[in-house]
């Protein structure tokens, strides 16, 4: 696919990939509010936003970061592109009515949404998530039936993230459902990799990666 860097990153060693705790063990009230914000974005955005939204494309967009090398991009089954320019209206639709909570006298008083979380904190959490999402391009790529192993793919992407300026990616495993997740972030790049695999079957069932990055200044 056009725009991909030449050469392969050095696979990371096991010691270079940081094992993270399960999300439910580290998620505070602020994190929960962030999750709620993302759910609101999807539900409200799909129902009410007008204009172009996520779209299936046949090749990586020209704006895709060249610093991030993908694993066998030519074998990708699907590419979804969601440009930042299409997200602004969704953010306004969602954040606009938030001020009603606690301000409209006709609404019942709401003091707590979760332990330690007030309505004002919820509003700030939603606005923060909307701002983060609406000012970044998003690209989702999916593979299926890869003749590889989950460990090979994980080590490849750990090396790729290091090459792209993300030195300490974290991995989370859920052996009971055969899933492994690799995440990494930098000031200009967020990457989330999800591998779903049945170990009793040869090959890797499904690999998905979501890459978020700022759009070029001329967009």
pLDDT tens digits along 152-206:
999 999 999 999 999 889 998 886 668 899 999 999 999 999 999 988 888 899 9
Cut 0.95: pTM above it: no
pLDDT tens digits along 69-78:
999 999 999 9
Query: Where in the chain are the domains?
Result: 14-213
State the maximum Cα–Cα separation within the chain, in Å, rounded to a whole number: 62
**Rg (the chain; Cα; Å):** 19
* 63: three-class secondary structure by DSSP: coil
Give 69-112 as a 3 state SS string. CCCCHHHCCEEEEECHHHCHHHHHHHHHHHHHCCCCCCCCCCCC
C-alpha 4/C-alpha 79 separation (Å) is: 14
The pLDDT, as a whole number, for residue 201 is 85
Residue 88, burial from CB neighbour count under 10 angstroms (0-12, 13-18, 19+): middle
Phi-psi region of 72 (alpha: psi -120 to 50; beta: other; left: phi over 0): left
pLDDT tens digits along 94-112:
444 444 444 443 334 433 3
């Amino acid at each position: 696919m056009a725009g991909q860097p030449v050469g392969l990153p050095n696979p990371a060693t096991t010691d270079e990939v940081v094992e993270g705790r399960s999300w439910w063990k580290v998620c505070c009230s602020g994190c929960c509010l962030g999750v709620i914000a993302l759910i609101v974005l999807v539900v409200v955005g799909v129902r009410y936003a007008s204009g172009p939204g996520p779209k299936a494309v046949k090749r990586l967009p020209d704006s895709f970061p060249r610093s991030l090398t993908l694993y066998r991009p030519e074998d990708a089954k699907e590419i979804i592109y969601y440009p930042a320019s299409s997200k602004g209206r969704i953010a306004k639709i969602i954040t606009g009515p938030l001020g009603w909570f606690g301000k409209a006298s006709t609404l019942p008083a709401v003091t707590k949404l979760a332990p330690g979380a007030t309505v004002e904190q919820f509003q700030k959490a939603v606005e923060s998530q909307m701002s983060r999402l609406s000012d970044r391009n998003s690209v989702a790529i999916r593979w299926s039936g890869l003749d590889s192993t989950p460990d090979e793919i994980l080590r490849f992407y750990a090396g790729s993230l290091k090459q792209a300026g993300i030195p300490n990616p974290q991995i989370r495993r859920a052996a009971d459902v055969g899933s492994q997740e690799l995440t990494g972030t930098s000031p200009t790049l967020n990457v989330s990799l999800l591998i779903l695999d049945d170990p009793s079957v040869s090959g890797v069932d499904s690999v998905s990666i979501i890459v978020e990055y700022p759009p070029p200044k001329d967009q």
